Amino acid sequence: MALQKYFEIAIKSLTERGLRSWLTIIGIIIGVAAIVSLISIGQGMQEVIDEQFKKVGANRIIISPGGIFFGPLGSELVSAQLTKDDADFIKKIRGVEAAIGVVTKTIQVRFDDETKTLSIFGVPTDSEAIAQIKTIGFFEIEKGREFTQSDRYVAILGNIIAYDTFEKNITTGKKIRIEDETFTVVGIQKRAGTGIHDMIIRIPEDVARALFDEPEMVSTIFATAKEGFDVGEVAEDIKVKLRKKRDVKEGEEDFTVQTAEQSIESFKTILGVVQTVLAGIAAISLLVGGVGIMTTMYTSVIERTNEIGLMKAVGAKNSNILLLFLIESGLIGIVGGGLGLLIGFGMAKIAEIIAQAFGVGLRISTNIWIILGALLFAFIVGSVSGFVPARTASKMKPVDALRAK
Amino acid sequence: MIQDYMKIVFRSLVERGIRTWLTMIGIFIGIAAVVSLVSLGQGLQESISEQFEMMGVNAVLVTPGGPLFGIGGGAELTDDDLKVIEKVRGVQDVAGMLFKYSQVKFKDEIITTAVIGLPTDESADILLSMQNFQIAQGRFIKKKDKAKVVVGYLLAQGDVFDKPVELRDKIEIEGEDYTVIGSIVEIGNPADDSQVYVSIEQARIIFNEPKKYDIFWVRTLPGFDTATVAERIKKDLRTSRDLEEGDEDFSVETSEGLREAYVSVFAVVSAVVIGLAAISLFVGGIGIMNTMYTSVLERTPEVGVMKAIGAKNSHILSLFLLESGFLGAVGGAVGIIVGIALSNLITYGAAAAGWTFIKASFPWYLIVGSFAFSFIVGSIAGTLPAMQAAKLKPVEALRYE
């Protein structure tokens, strides 16, 4: 029998049952839609993170004191400290292009009679360091200029600090007070969109050290690998050599060396776990939908017992009957999957529009794998749920089936 | 009469055998998921509340930076601030603490954990009056103690290092040896239970922090409203730090305020998760509707006979509604039992991993509510099919093949 015939019979059986077929399909639609919308939103988030990562640059290595949970601003919570000496030491390691030690502190800043507590980054202003900073997308200048070697009491502001922190906007040329010193604003950064980079004030390192009374301490070291060197290997090399310099054993490091990629990865892993848990809970409804298909298929088998008897009497094999019912249940699954896919994308799109209206940079993303995966999965759910009823049908004895009322 | 209804309903359900069971499974999965998630969420929320209650209703926390312990950021709190707070009307005493994440070494093993400097004057009583901050072995730190340390529950249990840390053992913090003089009872989560405690004087030396405090724990006098005292602390600190209202670089929270903040965040998260789980209940309801339509079709001639011998529309309607409600209720009951079993299983698993504050809780309204809800889902799902059955014309129903 031609495959086409199987489909004709299966479709006829589904349309005959009209409303009930649709109810079964709706069960699958709901589950698939929930999962697809969750995954496409999660996928979009991952892409946004990847874009941020490109701004940092693939050849960055970040060295921070203590464990991995604390970024540059968390260094105040950790007892271990890195020093200027460590930064100079790292600079000399083979494969390292540059290493910039940054000293940070959260401190009161005054502008136009308003006082706020903000994060100050003391950054080196030698020509080498400035050249490095210019390559970091987060620190791009929108107005004014980058530091020069001779700069002393000047500041470059993150975008949010300039425009959304104090009541009045701060423009270049204005003066701000940090502790007891007055600084002239010479530059304002482009909005990085990451929060942290938009919320900092950069001042020259030497001035910062004097201001904070921190002659040696370095909060974070930002290193760059030379072109042609493997970033991961350079990072490992830094780890080994720094361990030796600080006289600690392997596994007992009081510092962390991470490539930009690793730090992004660890964040993506957390996001992935959350996404999996949510999608898993949503998948329960797909399981229930599958049970619904099974119920429907049992009904279908019972209602068509006579038909099965007739088919068998005129020579249909067990395998023919099995295939017939499997195609019917698979069809329910795939139609439900297809419609669920469309509705799922629709819901995710609505979520995206609503989020953007509230200023949240949520974006959805789809690829061929989500589409194929959802369809295949729905088809499998349909076939698996249909298998037991289909086997029941295929094993009927022709005589009994014909005689059944 | 109702007995007759029940008999007919039962017969119809039993006749359809496996299909009846499958329909019930649809509801049972959804209810089990919802019950276990709600009971775990409820239990977690109770544990969180308990932790805050142990702080006492008269506790006020002052921290640098934003609320809920924002990492980094914020001003440094110092002795000057301590003095300001002590003078606020309604304040009984203030405990200032200092902590840093640091490497702790015991018999050649190193871990990174929080080392907490605690006050040794009368204000230490604020901490020691809490139920879950009691000395299990040995004694608490005294002012004159040098190089003495009190360890958390898991350290004393031997769950952190290979061997349990015992009284008079030596552990190394930042290269200096400290003698263990006591251990604390179990607090309930691995992070808190693997901390070590020294006197704040010692902590200042270890971390080279001569002035700084990371947190002030304030106890208010009996008879004063905690929230009012907190407001006063905020105002006085603002004045002494020369800040405008709304520009605070520190945060003042009452234990009650913190509890509410946690609970409301928690409520949003659990609503999302339970909402997702409830989708499956909806799908289960659609399954019941489907089954009921089938049931109506299969029993059309029967309905015809009933009507021919005098059954009213309302009789037929209640017959089918009862059937679908029954499907929902039985599915729900099984689901509740499975859900309870599931969350107990998770509770035991979590406890084995040291997370003793994950405890499932089954308030009566959860049980009654889910049972009622599953019955309602069943009935609603059955309404349309039952109405279709009720409206059948006797002649046509009898003639139906």
A155 plus A213 within the same structural domain = yes
A269 plus A384 within the same structural domain = yes
Is the Cβ of B273 closer than 8 Å to some Cβ of chain A? Answer: yes
What's the gap in Å between the CA of B373 and the closest CA on chain A?
17
Sorted by where each begins, the domain ranges of chain B are: 2-52+260-399, 76-248
**Predicted confidence band of residue B276 (pLDDT cuts 50, 70, 90):** confident
**Predicted confidence band of residue A155 (pLDDT cuts 50, 70, 90):** very high
Decide if A258 is inside a domain. no
Q: Which residue has the tokens 């900092």?
A: A200
Strand partners, A201: A120, A157
Q: Which residues of A touch B239 (CB under 8 A)?
A: none
A108 plus A154 within the same structural domain = yes
Q: Do B103 and A254 touch (CB under 8 A)?
A: yes
Q: Which of B247, B212, B251, B260 is nearest to B62 (CA)?
A: B251
A185 plus A285 within the same structural domain = no
Spatial separation of the C-alpha atoms in residues A281 and B356, rounded to whole Å: 24
Option in A27, A66, A117 nearest B75 (CB):
A117
Looking at residue B67, its pLDDT comes to 41
More confident residue, A24 or B68: A24
A29 plus A74 within the same structural domain = no
Spatial separation of the C-alpha atoms in residues B186 and B261, rounded to whole Å: 25
For residue B332 the two structure tokens come to 């729900």
Cβ atoms of residues A109 and A170 within 8 Å: no
CA-based diameter of chain A, in Å? 102
User: Mean of the pLDDT values across residues A256-281?
Assistant: 82
**Which residue among A219, A249, A273 closes a domain?**
A219
Nearest residue of B to residue A254, measured between CA atoms = B103
Option in A26, A70, A114 nearest B286 (CB):
A26
Answer whether residue B307 shows pLDDT above 50.
Answer: yes
| Best to test chain B binding among A165, A177, A199, A285 (most B CBs inside 10 Å) | A285
pLDDT, one tens digit per residue, over A272-296 is 888 888 888 888 888 888 888 888 8
Cβ atoms of residues B263 and B45 within 8 Å: yes
Q: Residue A176 is part of which domain span?
A: 70-80+95-219
Spatial separation of the C-alpha atoms in residues A32 and A65, rounded to whole Å: 45
Answer whether residue B196 shows pLDDT above 80.
Answer: yes
Looking at residue B232, its pLDDT comes to 92
DSSP A67: -
In chain A, the number of structural domains is: 2
A99 plus A208 within the same structural domain = yes
Query: A208-212, B156-160, B262-266, B353-357: which has the minimum mean pLDDT?
Result: B353-357
Decide if A227 is inside a domain. no
A19 plus A127 within the same structural domain = no
**Predicted confidence band of residue B394 (pLDDT cuts 50, 70, 90):** confident
Sign of CA dihedral A160, A165, A168, A172: negative
User: Mean of the pLDDT values across residues A142-161?
Assistant: 88
Spatial separation of the C-alpha atoms in residues B367 and B1, rounded to whole Å: 30
Spatial separation of the C-alpha atoms in residues B173 and B101, rounded to whole Å: 11
Looking at residue B69, its pLDDT comes to 39
Spatial separation of the C-alpha atoms in residues B31 and B25, rounded to whole Å: 10
Q: Which residues of A touch B115 (CB under 8 A)?
A: 79
Q: Which CA distances in Å does B351 have to B133, B157, B329? A: 20, 15, 33
Between helix A260-303 and helix A318-357 the angle, nearest 10°, is 140
A291 plus A175 within the same structural domain = no
**In terms of DSSP bridges, do strands A255-259 and B135-138 run parallel, antiparallel, or are they unpaired?**
unpaired
Q: Which residues of A touch B110 (CB under 8 A)?
A: 251-252
Residue A171, helix vs strand vs coil: coil
Cβ atoms of residues B12 and B299 within 8 Å: yes
For residue A253 the two structure tokens come to 């490091």
H helices of B55-158, in order, are 79-87, 125-128, 153-157
A75 plus A185 within the same structural domain = yes
Identify the helix (H) or strand (E) that includes residue A302.
helix A260-303
Query: A231-235, B54-58, B59-63, B159-163: which has the minimum mean pLDDT?
Result: B54-58
Option in B33, B73, B102 nearest A73 (CB):
B73
A194 plus A155 within the same structural domain = yes
Q: Which residues 6+ apart lie within 8 Å of A238 measured at CB? A: A61, A63, A90, A93, A96, A223, A257
User: Mean of the pLDDT values across residues B273-297?
Assistant: 85
pTM equals: 0.73
Answer whether residue B71 shows pLDDT above 70.
Answer: no
End-to-end alpha carbon distance in chain A: 28
What's the gap in Å between the CA of B93 and the closest CA on chain A?
26
Q: Which of B48, B60, B47 is nearest to B260 (CA)?
A: B48
Is the Cβ of B400 closer than 8 Å to some Cβ of chain A? Answer: no
Q: Does the model's ipTM exceed the 0.85 cut? A: no
Q: Do B243 and A115 touch (CB under 8 A)?
A: yes
Q: Which CA distances in Å does A286 have to A17, A119, A281, B287, B294? A: 22, 48, 10, 12, 22
Q: Do B283 and A251 touch (CB under 8 A)?
A: no
Complete DSSP assignment for B348-377: HHHHHTT-TT------HHHHHHHHHHHHHH
Q: Which residues of B touch A298 (CB under 8 A)?
A: 18-19, 22
Cβ atoms of residues A122 and A207 within 8 Å: yes
How many other CB atoms sit within 10 Å of the CB of residue A7?
A: 14
User: Mean of the pLDDT values across residues A24-53?
Assistant: 84
Percent of chain A beyond pLDDT 70? 94
Option in A24, A26, A67 nearest B101 (CB):
A67
User: Mean of the pLDDT values across residues A77-81?
Assistant: 73
CB–CB contacts below 8 A, A to B: 143
What's the gap in Å between the CA of B74 and the closest CA on chain A?
6
